[in-house]
Amino acid sequence: MNQAKTRKTGIFSGSFNPIHIGHLALANYLCEYEGLDEIWFMVSPQNPLKTKAELWSDELRLQLVELSISDYPRFRASDFEFHLPRPSYSVYTLEKLRETYPDREFYFIIGSDNWERFGRWYQSERIIKENQLLIYPRPGFPVKEEELPETVRLVHSPVFEISSTFIREALSAGKDIRYFLHPRVWEAIKKDNIRL
């Protein structure tokens, strides 16, 4: 009985520096085509593989996520990792999520580029053993489905060749890239003249 009521919740963790239409379209696909009830955009305060100097402020990145998802009820912006020890490691975030929300069934969402180097992640084997993972395709990083562990599944979503790095570089160069971003995010960036 309880299993039937469990909400299938995708955890889309990332810097979202900033969030762009590639992130949003992928999450939209996962909800509509891959059986997820909702997706939480888990804004990471500090990626152990990135330097703090590369990141816009935590508050700004979270605010832009909130602006971009407010019209779609199956999306949620989350600052969950802001309240965990830093640097934030996925294995601990996922453990804490299961403890805090026992009524949810979590799916950890990563790109095939991250899957290729997943062995470098902190306690990667434990993540695979204790969690369900959804891998989405990224250009140049094919996945052999037949070799995936039982808890890992490849989804066949459209491929989006947009990166936050491209967005930041375009903004720094003064480019008008409004169609790469949610309209509210574009308006906020232009209003505050946000550049890297």
Query: pLDDT at position 2, please?
Result: 45
Query: pLDDT at position 192, please?
Result: 75
Query: pLDDT at position 121, please?
Result: 96
**Per-residue model confidence as pLDDT tens for the chain (196 residues):** 444 568 999 999 999 999 999 999 999 999 999 999 999 999 998 665 666 667 888 999 999 999 999 999 999 999 999 999 888 899 999 999 999 999 999 999 999 999 999 999 999 999 999 999 999 999 999 999 999 999 999 999 999 889 999 999 999 999 999 999 999 999 999 887 665 4
Query: pLDDT at position 39, please?
Result: 98
Query: pLDDT at position 191, please?
Result: 86
- 85-91, long-range: CB < 8 A, 24+ apart: 86/45, 86/46, 87/46, 87/47, 87/48, 88/44, 88/45, 88/46, 88/47, 88/48, 89/48, 89/121, 89/122, 89/123, 90/13, 90/121, 90/122, 90/127, 91/121, 91/122, 91/123, 91/124, 91/126, 91/127
- Show the tokens assigned to 17: 């520096």
CA dihedral 2, 40, 116, 182 (to 10 degrees): 150
* Domain layout of the chain by residue ranges: 2-159
C-alpha span between 25 and 109 (Å, rounded): 14
Task: Output phi, psi for 160, to 5 deg.
Answer: -115, 115
In this prediction the pTM is 0.90
Give residues with Cβ within 8 angstroms of 53, minimum separation 6. Answer: none
Indicate the fold that domain 2-159 takes in CATH: Rossmann fold (3.40.50)
